[in-house]
Structure 1
Amino acid sequence: MNSMREIRHSIKYNAVMNMILTSSSVIFPLITVPYVSRVLNPAGIGAVSFAQSIVSYFSLVALLGIQTYGVRACSQVRDDEKELSKVVEELIVILGMSTTIVFICYIVAILFVPRFSDDKPIFYIFGIALWLASFGVEWFYQAIEQYGYITIRNIVIKIIGLVLMLIFVRDVHDYTFYGGIVVFTGYGANILNILRLWKLIKFCPLNELNIKRHLRPMRYFFISSISSGMYVQSDIVILGFIASNSVVGIYQLVSKIKSMLMMAINSVVNVMLPRLSYYAVNDKRQYKNLLTKNIAFVLLFASAGIAVASLNGAAIIDILGGVQYRGAITPLLLILPALLFASINTVLSQYLISSGREKQYAIVNFVGLLTSIIYCLTFIPLFGASGAALSSSLCEFTALIVRCVLSKEFISRIISRIQIWQAPLSAVISGMITYYSTVTWIPNNSFMHILVTCIIFSLLYTIALLLMRENITMAVLKRIVRK
């Protein structure tokens, strides 16, 4: 068994690897989404998206919150290889039992729920994802900070998925093939995880395991995982029951754009949880510094992302979807505020998880689920896809307020070190100047529109941040000057 210390890398290395992974997660959709959107049309895309959202609900129950709990549990014992192996095996046994029960319920639902039985083939295909999601042990690789392996593995799978998509998705009737490829690209790498796990973990006899010790601490992760996962997907699920597959397909494009932007914004933040869990026990000063930096990164990149997407909303929709998806422009603008709220929510969730406040973490996610259902049932019947987008932004904002209240003691200790208004204000000012200075002459070509707008905004945004002496920007400038 390889030494865990030998395969562990620095935060900078992990951040670079995660940024490469995130870049691939943005680049590949930029290739596949325009192609698939035009081949399958909104109805085909909507059918796949609805099935994917439904199976994610079942998967959340099967996972029992282990995708988050596992990172913390493994991070805390990662220096003890024998104990780490035991923890991993215990969690896999728990997943085996839960997934079996959930899969039976899933098959029953396909057979007896009319909305599901209308598209049985696509739902059966996504049933495979239930098993792959449960046994991918991604939480283990995150805990031991194997971001190099995670990055290479995912990029290879994405390339294979791209080739399969170009070969098998050729007309509007191929949406079942597309569903299978979505399952492969999303979960196929998990098979490699399991195969590689045998080299890193030494499994022990079942009678030496202590499964019960995980059940109590897992309960809050279970509640929060189901709640957060359901409220993230509730807009598409409720829209799928109320509206047609075509409307779901239009909104799915909006949701995919939001996801790509979120991945880009959180590319650095997401690698911090294992190290935060470690620092929470071993180094309180580093723990506080790391969380403060996370908030600063989020404010800087989320503000820029919202501004750029707002300036180029119509152009982005034209490139990724085409004329059939023009109805997605308004929903896209309405969902953009969720980027900032959700990114800050991610950081505050890291604080609650890494500091052992699972109960508060569960409470905020449960509140998020309830408010999401209320918002969706209120606005979707009135405004369709636009109502779903508005609900998403309102839900993330409500969850942010609750998280701030629950984290007020921690926030009060670091608030003096956080520059709250510099990045958002710089983005607003730069965005307005960019819009009014280009509105009369900017090219009609969508690619050129985005290119010109991004260049001008980036220059103005950098200048504004320097004038306001934003910490990260000033630190980068000083490093450049020294060199």
Structure 2
Amino acid sequence: MSIKKNYLYNLAYQVLNMALPLITVPYISRVLKPEGVGIYAYTNSIVQYFMLLAMLGIGTYGNKMVAIARDNKEELSRTFFSIFLLQLFFSFISLSLYFVFVFYFFQEYKLIALLQGIALLATVLDCSWFFSGLEDFKKIVTRNIFFKVLSLIAIFIFVKDPNDLTLYTIIMGLSLLLGSIVLWYYVKPHVARVSISFHSVFTHFKPTVVYFLPQIATQVYFVLNKTMLGYFSTTSEVGIYDYADKILKIALAIVTSLGIVMLPRMANTFGKGDLDKANEYIRKSLEFTTLLAIPIMFGLAGVAMEFVPWYMGEDFSLSANVLVILSPAIFLMAWSGVFGTQYLVPLGKMKQYTSTLYIGAIVNLIVNIILIKPYGAIGAAIGTLAAEIAVTVAQLFFIRKDIKIIQVMPKTFYYLISGGIMYLVVRYIGGLLGSTIMTTLLQVATGIFVYLTFVILFEILFKDGLIMNEIKRRRSRP
């Protein structure tokens, strides 16, 4: 399957994976209030650590190994079953530890925490990494569409007031669990019966740990913010941060989807020793993600103040400030996604990749300790942004000799100018019209038009660019 089709499928997958919370935000924010939203986010942040342990880096490692073995059915089967058996082993350890933790150390919100265990059960059976390695994103997407829509309907039917937080937690967990079960139906045609030894299973242990270590660091500045907010501040502050973070991740899915699609392709290309082709992929990917990330960054910051009040309700008005602070992370994560997911990881430079994430995690932890108690969600947002800056700078240092960043800098410069002009126009409209749905729609439409207009003008001026090249390529077709 082509990279373009896989990108669109994976984009749909990433958006749908976050879309349920986003679609239900206007409803749930008014029904559960910041307190209920915060309790769910806080308990969910706890279970995320155990989900991380259950997968032990298998999501990324399994994706890569399946991509390498996919041309040989017997080898593919042996690779898949041995990795999955390792996943089962650590999943049951993680499940046991989680329920012990909840019963003995969770004083508040114990019932909600127990119900979050349904999501952990879904991790036990997760095999989406297998289809990612095969570059078959269609099956993942169709599975998600069905269960996301089903859970969306269930939320609107059953969740009616703050006391229905338990039902909301059950629905969210079951959508993941049933999705994991159904995907197994599609595994059978791709694999054959093979004998698996104890040794073949645990030969994957060491390399999965290598992939697990960077995920610990990533978890620190994606999930620890909510855990620390719940501990040092209030659950309402957790809710305010969580909903801003959800909107950020929806926007982020548009630019990070390419990295997930490119991982198996890059692993396969590096495995064949075709370094010139790999570097060409990197350059094009970096330029494309930059073209997308900059307007999304400026656009999100530009519409936040008018968008959040009508969309989430006045109780979440502080989420707008959090969103503005977080918005530059879109550009930073777009670049670090190219350098990390598409270059360092498939090339096997896990030591360098892991060290950059730990630098970000340490920065985030220090800033959180200093700022969360006095500033709550705002402090957590500053910590996240500081972490992303640290990660991107560190990765730039490690790839400086291999990837010629200077080649994309002129285009990045005029993308930034175009995005800056777009931001000023969007803010003017927002200040003029106030917080309504029509204001946001007008801001988005005008912002897209202004950005594309200035980008095309720059491309005409410099006689080069992605949009112009794509137009020329289409015109040259017979």
TM-score interval, normalised by the smaller of the two chains:
over 0.9
Alignment of 1:179-198 (within 5 A): 179-198=169-188
The superposition leaves residues 28-71 of structure 1 with CA deviations (integer Å, 9 ceiling, x where unpaired) of: 44431111111111111111111111111111122111111111
What is the TM-score when the length of structure 1 is the normalising length? 0.92
> In the alignment, residue 336 of structure 1 is paired with which amino acid?
S
Q: Which residue of 2 aligns with 1:316?
A: 307
Q: Which residue of 2 aligns with 1:69?
A: 61
CA RMSD, 1 decimal: 2.0
Q: Which residue of 1 aligns with 2:332?
A: 341
Q: Which residue of 2 aligns with 1:6?
A: none
5+ residue gaps in structure 2? none
Q: Please, which of 419, 426, 430 is the counterpart of residue 418 of structure 2?
A: 426
| Counterpart secondary structure, 2:403 | helix
Q: Which residue of 2 aligns with 1:230?
A: 220
Q: Which residue of 1 aligns with 2:147?
A: 157
- Superposition deviation, residue 25 in structure 1: 4.6
Find the aligned partners of 1:226 and 1:439 in 2 and give their Cα distance: 40
- Superposition deviation, residue 411 in structure 1: 2.4
Q: Which residue of 1 aligns with 2:388?
A: 396
Q: Please, which of 204, 207, 220 is the counterpart of residue 197 of structure 2?
A: 207
Residues 80 and 130 of structure 2 are in contact (CA less than 8 Å); yes or no, is this contact kept in structure 1?
Answer: yes
Q: Which residue of 2 aligns with 1:143?
A: 133
The superposition leaves residues 391-435 of structure 1 with CA deviations (integer Å, 9 ceiling, x where unpaired) of: 1111111111111112222223x5325533221221012222443
Q: Which residue of 1 aligns with 2:236?
A: 246
- Is 1:83 the counterpart of 2:79? The answer is no
Find the aligned partners of 1:86 and 1:154 in 2 and give their Cα distance: 27
The superposition leaves residues 424-465 of structure 1 with CA deviations (integer Å, 9 ceiling, x where unpaired) of: 2210122224434x3664x33521111111222212111211
Q: Please, which of 245, 250, 266 is the counterpart of residue 256 of structure 2?
A: 266
Residues 338 and 396 of structure 1 are in contact (CA less than 8 Å); yes or no, is this contact kept in structure 2?
Answer: yes
- Superposition deviation, residue 480 in structure 1: 6.2
Residues 40 and 175 of structure 1 are in contact (CA less than 8 Å); yes or no, is this contact kept in structure 2?
Answer: yes
Q: Please, which of 88, 99, 109 is the counterpart of residue 91 of structure 2?
A: 99
Residues 37 and 321 of structure 1 are in contact (CA less than 8 Å); yes or no, is this contact kept in structure 2?
Answer: yes
Q: Percent of counterpart pairs with the same letter?
A: 26
- Superposition deviation, residue 98 in structure 1: 1.1
Find the aligned partners of 1:163 and 1:197 in 2 and give their Cα distance: 28
- Is 1:358 the counterpart of 2:364? The answer is no
Q: Please, which of 294, 298, 304 is the counterpart of residue 289 of structure 2?
A: 298
> In the alignment, residue 307 of structure 1 is paired with which amino acid?
F
Q: Which residue of 2 aligns with 1:5?
A: none
What is the TM-score when the length of structure 2 is the normalising length? 0.93
The superposition leaves residues 194-218 of structure 1 with CA deviations (integer Å, 9 ceiling, x where unpaired) of: 3332332224234376123222322
Please identify, of 443-452 and 273-282, the stretch whose mean Cα deviation from structure 2 is larger: 443-452
Find the aligned partners of 2:425 and 2:31 in 1 and give their Cα distance: 38
Find the aligned partners of 2:259 and 2:242 in 1 and give their Cα distance: 25
Q: Which residue of 2 aligns with 1:473?
A: 467
Residues 26 and 264 of structure 1 are in contact (CA less than 8 Å); yes or no, is this contact kept in structure 2?
Answer: no
The superposition leaves residues 79-124 of structure 1 with CA deviations (integer Å, 9 ceiling, x where unpaired) of: 11111111111111111211222222211211222xx331111111
The superposition leaves residues 5-47 of structure 1 with CA deviations (integer Å, 9 ceiling, x where unpaired) of: xxxx121221222233345456544431111111111111111
The structure-2 alpha-carbon separation of the partners of 1:99 and 1:24, relative to structure 1 and needing over 3 Å to count, comes to closer
Find the aligned partners of 1:365 and 1:387 in 2 and give their Cα distance: 20
Find the aligned partners of 1:337 and 1:271 in 2 and give their Cα distance: 23
Q: Please, which of 211, 235, 254 is the counterpart of residue 221 of structure 1?
A: 211
> In the alignment, residue 346 of structure 1 is paired with which amino acid?
G
Find the aligned partners of 2:276 and 2:221 in 1 and give their Cα distance: 34
The superposition leaves residues 350-402 of structure 1 with CA deviations (integer Å, 9 ceiling, x where unpaired) of: 21111111121222222222222111111111211100111111111111111
Find the aligned partners of 1:103 and 1:363 in 2 and give their Cα distance: 29
Residues 29 and 312 of structure 2 are in contact (CA less than 8 Å); yes or no, is this contact kept in structure 1?
Answer: yes
- Is 1:444 the counterpart of 2:437? The answer is no
Residues 37 and 320 of structure 1 are in contact (CA less than 8 Å); yes or no, is this contact kept in structure 2?
Answer: no
Residues 404 and 411 of structure 1 are in contact (CA less than 8 Å); yes or no, is this contact kept in structure 2?
Answer: no
The superposition leaves residues 169-225 of structure 1 with CA deviations (integer Å, 9 ceiling, x where unpaired) of: 111111111111222334431111233323322242343761232223223212112
Find the aligned partners of 2:13 and 2:215 in 1 and give their Cα distance: 23
Please identify, of 452-461 and 195-204, the stretch whose mean Cα deviation from structure 2 is larger: 195-204
5+ residue gaps in structure 1? 1-8
Please identify, of 19-28 and 67-76, the stretch whose mean Cα deviation from structure 2 is larger: 19-28
Residues 67 and 133 of structure 2 are in contact (CA less than 8 Å); yes or no, is this contact kept in structure 1?
Answer: yes
Find the aligned partners of 1:440 and 1:365 in 2 and give their Cα distance: 38
Please identify, of 336-345 and 18-27, the stretch whose mean Cα deviation from structure 2 is larger: 18-27
> In the alignment, residue 82 of structure 2 is paired with which amino acid?
E
The structure-2 alpha-carbon separation of the partners of 1:209 and 1:479, relative to structure 1 and needing over 3 Å to count, comes to same
Alignment of 1:275-290 (within 5 A): 275-282=265-272, 283-290=274-281
Q: Which residue of 1 aligns with 2:43?
A: 51
The structure-2 alpha-carbon separation of the partners of 1:187 and 1:377, relative to structure 1 and needing over 3 Å to count, comes to farther
- Is 1:415 the counterpart of 2:406? The answer is yes
Find the aligned partners of 1:433 and 1:159 in 2 and give their Cα distance: 36
Please identify, of 242-251 and 153-162, the stretch whose mean Cα deviation from structure 2 is larger: 242-251
> In the alignment, residue 226 of structure 2 is paired with which amino acid?
I
The structure-2 alpha-carbon separation of the partners of 1:141 and 1:164, relative to structure 1 and needing over 3 Å to count, comes to same
The structure-2 alpha-carbon separation of the partners of 1:126 and 1:29, relative to structure 1 and needing over 3 Å to count, comes to closer
The superposition leaves residues 141-195 of structure 1 with CA deviations (integer Å, 9 ceiling, x where unpaired) of: 1000111111111101111001110111111111111111222334431111233
Residues 422 and 451 of structure 2 are in contact (CA less than 8 Å); yes or no, is this contact kept in structure 1?
Answer: yes
| Counterpart secondary structure, 1:71 | helix
| Counterpart secondary structure, 1:236 | helix
- Superposition deviation, residue 284 in structure 1: 2.0
Q: Which residue of 2 aligns with 1:41?
A: 33
